[in-house]
Structure 1
Amino acid sequence: MTGPDEDRPRLDARLVPAALGAWGAVLVALGLGWGPGAAVVLLALVGVGAGIARRDRRWAAGLFAAGACAAAVGGVASAAAFRVADHPVRAAAASGSAATLEVVLTDDPAPLRSSGLGGPRVVVRADLVTAQTGGGRWAGEGHVVLLAPAEGWVGLLPGQRATASGSLAASSRGDLTVAVLRTRGPPREVGPPPPVQVAAGDLRAGLRDAARAVLPEDPAGLLPGLVVGDTSGVGTDLADDFRTAGLTHLTAVSGSNVAFVLGAVLLLVRLARLGPRTAAALAAVALVGFVVLARPSPSVLRAGAMGAVVLLALALGRRRSVLPALAATVVGLLLVDPSLATDAGFALSVLATGALVLLAPPLVAALRARRVPPVVAEALAVPVAAHVVTAPVVAGLSGEVSLVAVLANLLVAPVVAPATVLGVVAALCAPWWTWGAHAAVWLAGPEVSWLVVVARRCAGVDGATVGWPGGVVGGLALAGLVALGAVALRWRRVRLVALAAAVGLLLVFVPTRVVPVGWPPTGWTVVACDVGQGDALVLATGEPGRAVLVDAGPDAGPVDRCLARLGVRSLALVVLSHLHVDHVGGLAGALRARSTAAVAVGPVREPAATLAQVGARARAAGAPVVGMERGMVLRWPGLVLEVLGPLHPSPHVDADDGSQVNDTSLVLRASTPLGRVLLPGDAERSSQDALLAAGVDLRAEVLKVPHHGSRSSLPPFLVAPGARLALVSVGRGNSYGHPNPSVVGLLAGTGALVRRTDESGDLALVPGLRGPAVVARGDPLPDPRRR
């Protein structure tokens, strides 16, 4: 009589050492240089010899395979690393030389999240064709990265040739990138795209058009991202919510996309009762077609390879064959492109594919053994398995761990596959059958809308993420904890303790995070929202649920959650002090589901590209964009808002000069029932000096410290209000050193109480025994990711 473990087929892990050896050899070559890589190759060849010499056939085969794969892949990687180290463009990049490069794009230009100076920018990955720098000209291979303005570059397709000029910089990427080129202009001498990319572009454009014609803004932008990784229509706020909720993988083409499409094809073949050869042929056609639709960039080709592994598992119905296929795929991909070894997407694809076909089935079996219905068991097992194995990589990259990711993935798991398949159908129909494409999109609408709802709600939970050490050390630490937890849970008593701890945490988490107790405080008039490295201040108007917002922070999520906690349902006015992303980036979150009377900007409208984005967001919310100038006074029942500056706004402002833009900041004074509050935005020395020289009345009981406590403020300006309270809106651990210790010391020396959002979270101005006092909510945001 045999037990259940004996009936379960054992996994064939003989090729796993080969894959790990190949991967490790590439990491050594790319991380330490071609010399150590060559040494690893020699050691691998010794392993090959040892494998040949051993008499034990099982061990001999394993040693031979591991050594051979490590030697072959490591040799290719070492040779590539040698070429990069000796590349003339790399030497020019080290000195920051000017250069003109002719390149061939290898992927779609991707948006770059930056400070917003000079307008939106993109990252362009390409292969080098020729380079001209320092009087020399070279023709040769090599990977390069271009940092370019979005205008002119967005819309270019992989395979197109282009020429760009700019300044070179050394690459900090641990791959085979030769150099980084920073360019400010559009591409020149742009060549035609390959026909296959044109066909893919037509299909993708048809899907985007059909989605916009049928669905609301957020679902319409998300559907192309879900189906083919086209995130051009996904707003920054929605992208932030997906990241916080642990759902970002849904908007990147991965092996699961391929598996869904091929699974649908196999289901139709099975219903039609066609033979295995026909099924294999149709599946192969579907695989090639999906790669064309999603564009055959390296990431899509990788996803196709991983999807083929999943297809093999589905077709054979045996877990035993999956591991060798996955290991062989890893070796093959690294042999073709060694730089994948350091690519996070590659690691996530391998881990997610392995979890899908290796870890999920035993989890399903364990749940079914405990009388969990099959459908529920599969819905639970797949997202849990995928999240557990990918969490260490995500934590190492982001420096945070999502506490809502498992729940979010559980909630969306049932709708991802049908939405993906329906989106593919819509893309295929769009060029010649508009009604059919619209019908497919309409059927996918509820599923995609559900994804948006889950992302919004899960990201809106306070404390949805917790900080974690980033980098390799943080990733390995979390991986070790996951492994220890998996081993410990094999014992029944440990499982009971873990269950009790989970229930206890839930009982604490829900009332303290989801429904915070004691917030907002009674009688608040001003709240400095903790939005990381940025500004967002809420002023009560004296009307229930209505407020004025001054600035919106860098991201949509934090300001939206701050307003929701305060019970703000409508905005009498949104004032954007100046057009830097740390003040306007979260505008979409502030306007979300709130009636807004108007969005106000100052007299200087630079950067123009940022102003255009503000206008688009305001129009989408039905709010007009209005101007504010010195001397204006606005009144509400419990609030008076005066515009004190800027005094002499120059019409000629260099949008790339951060200080010039900062000096265009609106300087406001709010009169509240608790006293006056001076709100100078990011005004710096020039603007401050003009206000002081003109004798403008700056007196206020509360000062919002300019520019996050930067040392770019004049001491007389900081002292002039005679403030008893000083609020610093600043991000924890920011790279700018804000607030400056001398500024904090100067304010404290005047007798003012200095409170900071990076230390205390949201700060509310409330009635005190001797005037205005400050109440802190706590739970400041983790280290900011950008300005």
Structure 2
Amino acid sequence: MKWQSVRYGQHVEATGRLEPVEAGSNVAAMLSVRSPPRPIDEPPWWLRAAEHVRAGLREAVSGQPEDVRGLVPALVMGDVSAVSTDLNADFQTTGLTHLSAVSGTNLTLLLAFLLPLARLIGVRARGLTIVGVLTVVAFVVLARPQPSVLRAAAMGLIALAAMTNGGTRRRAVRSLSVAVIVLLLLDTSLARSAGFALSVLATAGIVLLGPIWRDALAKWLPGWLADAISCPLAAQLACTPVVAWLSGQVSLVAVGANLLAGPAVGPATILGFVAAGVALLNNDLAHLAGWAAGWPARWIILIAHEGADLPGASGDWPATVLGVTVLTVLCLALVLGLHRILARPIAMIVAVVVLAVVILRPVGSLSRPPNDWLFVVCDVGQGDGLVLRAGDRTAVVVDTGPDPAAMDKCLRDLGVKHIPVLVLSHFHADHVGGLAGVLNGRRVDEIEVTPYAAPRAEYERVRNLAAQHKVDVRSVAFHEVRQVGALQWTTLWPARVPALPADGASSATSSDEGSPENNASIAMMVELSGLRILLTGDLEPESQRAILASGADLRADILKVPHHGSAQQDPAFINAVNPRLAVISAGRNNDYGHPAPRTLNLLSHNAVRTAVTSTSGALTITNPDNRLALIRRRPMSPTRK
């Protein structure tokens, strides 16, 4: 029996070695397994039945587009295994992440759709409570009783009490308080859980602020529209400081996106439930229900894609104690005064117009790079994401950083729509993890990769994404010369490729020094508008010395310092390049100590001007009148890696 075949709820035996974990972790120890699992029993009958239903739903939507196949199971049972990286990134930008995972908000929207339907067919009083409780139980069983699911159920039960008993705001607050205390007593680790904090804040916002803002809007809007606006607005404002702390961004379209997507959540979820149940009886009827569930899901996906593509969809915010404190104060100020704006139509119109200008940016962004940019080191955190201009709205991209959203935003700011060649220096996640962000809404003609296909998991993920977007993948050749427009480059490395491990797995992690993956990085000498730029991936001293020994002309105006400025640099290699400017891509407060003081001292000793994204943000290079110029932007997002 293999580990991937172990079923949820099944007990197994295995032998291994217990290893310590990082201090403060929620996990007591980590078991390094040395044997295959030996099953002791089967999952209980109700979990086996739930698994049949889950499989039936996946089959029911199997003929739908990729994003629909991923979203419907996520809405119904929290199964996010098929949610694409692109869609997840768009959900993050538009504040719709709670729809692609199990959340109290998701369950609340489901109950808000189902209970009025029950009333229409004559269900009253305790009958409504029974319908609601059965819905919550079915939701928990299908989504599996994990901590996040139980949190969602607790928040959903609070919403159920409010919707079926006509309770006052005081009663709802009391119910929420009891739920929080009970959950914390059952699992004290929730006190440090961001997901738990977001669930509680969203529910508290709806309970405390929602009625006040609904009454203010109801003075000049229909009641149903006032409800539709006030609930997502209250939930989003309550969660904004925590979201900014986690992501370093504030979504400016979240309220509008939730307002537009909200009405489709209930139908998509209910029809998904129907498809899952019918799948046990008849496959054809299940596919029909799955097809029907796909249409409201398509609307949600459309809102996410279009909202994320707006120029000002999200704004960067410093994820520091001071930054989050300032944002919290601003949110509290809105809490105290927003009901006055909501109650006045003219004030609301002015506020909406101002927000629309900020989001749509009809005059462009003041922080965009200059029109004559040539080379940009994107601020992608702990990783590399490099952009070389090759024409109007056209660029060659080298590496994609770890985060699709950060890379997508960098390319949007640059106005890049066409990428003739995307170069992936090697397959570590901090260089290829953001691939989906590059492919999002852009034409990519070709992906050029190192011949060393490890780590295998990342290599396969790149191949699969390329296949989904119908992009050819080719391996580089030593000393080959490529040209796109005025941009030309020569591949200086790898000249030889290390032998892959027998199982194709990585022999080292992305942080290991001297790993074969790093030493097989693509190195390329770029010539652009009178500048020579040496790009080096994560080359370690072994390969640096090999390139030097090859006799290649390494003189360059700009050096992308290997491996985020790690301490592993060959001084002779740096001397041979003798750059005017060295750029380093590293994340703020990263755990690796990049850039290393030794490397910074080496560059300083050679009188090389140095710029680092962790302190300067995105780096933009221009060359007006053959005078090399560097433009720095403030750091974007924090690194938690």
Q: Could you tell which deviates more after superposition, 321-330 or 661-670?
A: 321-330
| Corresponding position: 1:179 with 2:34 | no
Work out the CA distance in 2 between the residues paired with 1:609 and 1:753: 38
Work out the CA distance in 1 between the residues paired with 2:279 and 2:35: 31
Other-structure match for 2:410: 562
| Corresponding position: 1:165 with 2:11 | no
What is the CA distance between 1:468 and its match in structure 2? Answer: 4.4
Contact kept in structure 2, 1:640 and 1:672, CA below 8 Å:
yes
| Corresponding position: 1:655 with 2:511 | no
Other-structure match for 2:581: 725
Other-structure match for 2:51: 201
Contact kept in structure 2, 1:670 and 1:678, CA below 8 Å:
yes
- After superposition, the Cα gap between the structure-2 partners of 1:600 and 1:354, relative to the gap in structure 1 and judged at 3 Å, is same
| Corresponding position: 1:776 with 2:631 | yes
* TM-score, length basis structure 1: 0.72
Other-structure match for 2:73: 224
Q: Which amino acid aligns with 2:225?
A: V
Other-structure match for 1:754: 610
- After superposition, the Cα gap between the structure-2 partners of 1:677 and 1:276, relative to the gap in structure 1 and judged at 3 Å, is same
Aligned counterparts, 1:108-147, within 5 A:
none
Work out the CA distance in 1 between the residues paired with 2:288 and 2:114: 20
| Corresponding position: 1:607 with 2:455 | yes
Other-structure match for 1:105: none
Other-structure match for 2:210: 360
Name the SS for the 1:527 alignment partner. strand
What is the CA distance between 1:711 and its match in structure 2? Answer: 1.9
> Equivalent of 2:149, from 296, 300, 303?
300
Name the SS for the 1:212 alignment partner. coil
Structure 2: which 5+ residue stretches go unaligned? none
What is the CA distance between 1:336 and its match in structure 2? Answer: 4.5
Name the SS for the 2:490 alignment partner. strand
Aligned counterparts, 1:452-531, within 5 A:
452-460=301-309, 461=311, 464-469=314-319, 482-487=331-336, 506=355, 509-510=358-359, 515-516=364-365, 519=368, 521-531=370-380
* TM-score, length basis structure 2: 0.87
Q: Which amino acid aligns with 2:556?
A: A
Contact kept in structure 2, 1:560 and 1:592, CA below 8 Å:
yes
What is the CA distance between 1:375 and its match in structure 2? Answer: 2.6
Other-structure match for 1:118: none
> Equivalent of 1:598, from 426, 446, 456?
446
Contact kept in structure 1, 2:128 and 2:164, CA below 8 Å:
no
Name the SS for the 2:61 alignment partner. helix
Work out the CA distance in 2 between the residues paired with 1:255 and 1:630: 54
- After superposition, the Cα gap between the structure-2 partners of 1:603 and 1:255, relative to the gap in structure 1 and judged at 3 Å, is closer
What is the CA distance between 1:284 and its match in structure 2? Answer: 3.7
What is the CA distance between 1:244 and its match in structure 2? Answer: 3.6
Contact kept in structure 2, 1:535 and 1:551, CA below 8 Å:
yes
Contact kept in structure 2, 1:532 and 1:783, CA below 8 Å:
yes
Contact kept in structure 1, 2:559 and 2:577, CA below 8 Å:
yes
Contact kept in structure 2, 1:539 and 1:548, CA below 8 Å:
yes
Other-structure match for 1:137: none
Work out the CA distance in 1 between the residues paired with 2:347 and 2:23: 42
CA deviation vs aligned residue, 1:123-178 (integer Å, no higher than 9, x gap): xxxxxxxxxxxxxxxxxxxxxxxxxxxx835864145445352342246447xx56
Work out the CA distance in 2 between the residues paired with 1:245 and 1:624: 31
Name the SS for the 2:474 alignment partner. strand
- After superposition, the Cα gap between the structure-2 partners of 1:734 and 1:548, relative to the gap in structure 1 and judged at 3 Å, is same
What is the CA distance between 1:292 and its match in structure 2? Answer: 1.7
What is the CA distance between 1:493 and its match in structure 2? Answer: 14
Other-structure match for 2:221: 372
Q: Which amino acid aligns with 1:655?
A: S
Name the SS for the 2:419 alignment partner. strand
Work out the CA distance in 1 between the residues paired with 2:462 and 2:35: 23
Q: Could you tell which deviates more after superposition, 551-560 or 156-165?
A: 156-165
Contact kept in structure 1, 2:418 and 2:443, CA below 8 Å:
yes
Q: Could you tell which deviates more after superposition, 720-729 or 449-458?
A: 449-458
Work out the CA distance in 2 between the residues paired with 1:264 and 1:495: 29
What is the CA distance between 1:555 and its match in structure 2? Answer: 1.4
Other-structure match for 1:667: 523
What is the CA distance between 1:364 and its match in structure 2? Answer: 0.9
Work out the CA distance in 1 between the residues paired with 2:34 and 2:579: 47
Work out the CA distance in 2 between the residues paired with 1:227 and 1:480: 37
Work out the CA distance in 1 between the residues paired with 2:485 and 2:339: 63
Name the SS for the 2:218 alignment partner. helix
What is the CA distance between 1:720 and its match in structure 2? Answer: 0.9
CA deviation vs aligned residue, 1:562-602 (integer Å, no higher than 9, x gap): 33333333322221111111111111221223333322221
- After superposition, the Cα gap between the structure-2 partners of 1:200 and 1:465, relative to the gap in structure 1 and judged at 3 Å, is farther
Contact kept in structure 2, 1:246 and 1:402, CA below 8 Å:
yes
CA deviation vs aligned residue, 1:193-212 (integer Å, no higher than 9, x gap): 22222221222222223333
Q: RMSD of the alignment, in Å?
A: 3.5
Other-structure match for 1:85: none
Q: Which amino acid aligns with 2:569?
A: S
Work out the CA distance in 2 between the residues paired with 1:260 and 1:522: 45
Name the SS for the 1:183 alignment partner. strand
Work out the CA distance in 1 between the residues paired with 2:567 and 2:313: 32
Q: Which amino acid aligns with 2:14?
A: T
Work out the CA distance in 2 between the residues paired with 1:637 and 1:326: 61
Other-structure match for 2:139: 290
| Corresponding position: 1:552 with 2:400 | yes
- After superposition, the Cα gap between the structure-2 partners of 1:573 and 1:203, relative to the gap in structure 1 and judged at 3 Å, is same
Work out the CA distance in 2 between the residues paired with 1:345 and 1:785: 16
Q: Could you tell which deviates more after superposition, 316-325 or 702-711?
A: 316-325
Aligned counterparts, 1:75-86, within 5 A:
none
Other-structure match for 1:689: 545
Other-structure match for 1:32: none
The number of residues matched between the two structures is 629
> Equivalent of 2:98, from 238, 249, 259?
249
Work out the CA distance in 1 between the residues paired with 2:366 and 2:332: 36
Other-structure match for 1:211: 61
Work out the CA distance in 2 between the residues paired with 1:478 and 1:547: 36
- After superposition, the Cα gap between the structure-2 partners of 1:622 and 1:354, relative to the gap in structure 1 and judged at 3 Å, is same
Q: Which amino acid aligns with 2:215?
A: A
Other-structure match for 1:109: none
What is the CA distance between 1:464 and its match in structure 2? Answer: 1.9
> Equivalent of 1:388, from 204, 219, 237?
237
Larger Rg: 1
| Corresponding position: 1:739 with 2:587 | no
What is the CA distance between 1:463 and its match in structure 2? Answer: 7.9
Identity %: 40
- After superposition, the Cα gap between the structure-2 partners of 1:724 and 1:305, relative to the gap in structure 1 and judged at 3 Å, is closer
What is the CA distance between 1:519 and its match in structure 2? Answer: 4.7
CA deviation vs aligned residue, 1:36-86 (integer Å, no higher than 9, x gap): xxxxxxxxxxxxxxxxxxxxxxxxxxxxxxxxxxxxxxxxxxxxxxxxxxx
Structure 1: which 5+ residue stretches go unaligned? 1-150
What is the CA distance between 1:666 and its match in structure 2? Answer: 1.1
Other-structure match for 1:10: none
- After superposition, the Cα gap between the structure-2 partners of 1:172 and 1:203, relative to the gap in structure 1 and judged at 3 Å, is farther
Contact kept in structure 2, 1:674 and 1:772, CA below 8 Å:
no
Q: Could you tell which deviates more after superposition, 386-395 or 710-719?
A: 386-395
- After superposition, the Cα gap between the structure-2 partners of 1:158 and 1:353, relative to the gap in structure 1 and judged at 3 Å, is farther
Work out the CA distance in 2 between the residues paired with 1:639 and 1:767: 14
Other-structure match for 1:585: 433
Contact kept in structure 2, 1:555 and 1:589, CA below 8 Å:
yes
Contact kept in structure 2, 1:260 and 1:421, CA below 8 Å:
no
